[in-house]
Amino acid sequence: MGRRDDVLIKGSTVCPGLVSGTVKVVTKLADISKVNSGDIMVVRNSSPAYATGVMNSAGLITERGGKLAHICIVSMEMGIPSIANAEMATELLEDNMLVTLDATEGTVYGRSNGEY
């Protein structure tokens, strides 16, 4: 797992848990098709249209919304680690970055290739 000094993003816990995976930034509906099992989905808002992507992902990071947002409710129901209010997540995180999402602490850490 990433070291504590490798913090990339902080947010609010929606569904606690710890997961490492590949970032997939979703900025439009068509981007959902790039989210695969094991990926960490990153979105600006909590549009209900993104629910399918969440169901395929291992983790969720959203810039806006909270526990009552539709996409966050889906992540909680499915037990998918997730955080909300992660400012600038879609700008700071890029597709195919390896990260560790500590949703219990509301933190995203950078990861070196092959580090778990």
Separation of CA 97 from chain center: 12
Question: Which phi and psi (to 5°) does residue 28 adopt?
Answer: -150, 160
10, 64, 67, 70: the active-site residue? 70
pTM equals 0.90
Q: Give the pLDDT of the chain (116 residues) as one tens digit per residue.
A: 445 558 999 999 999 999 999 999 999 999 999 999 999 999 998 788 888 899 999 999 999 877 878 888 999 999 999 999 999 999 999 999 999 999 999 999 997 554 44
- The end-to-end CA distance of the chain, in Å, is 5
Whether 70 is catalytic is: yes
Name beta bridge partners: 99.
21, 110
Q: Alpha-carbon distance 67 to 12, whole Å?
A: 9
Domains of the chain as residue ranges with CATH = 14-93 (3.50.30.10)
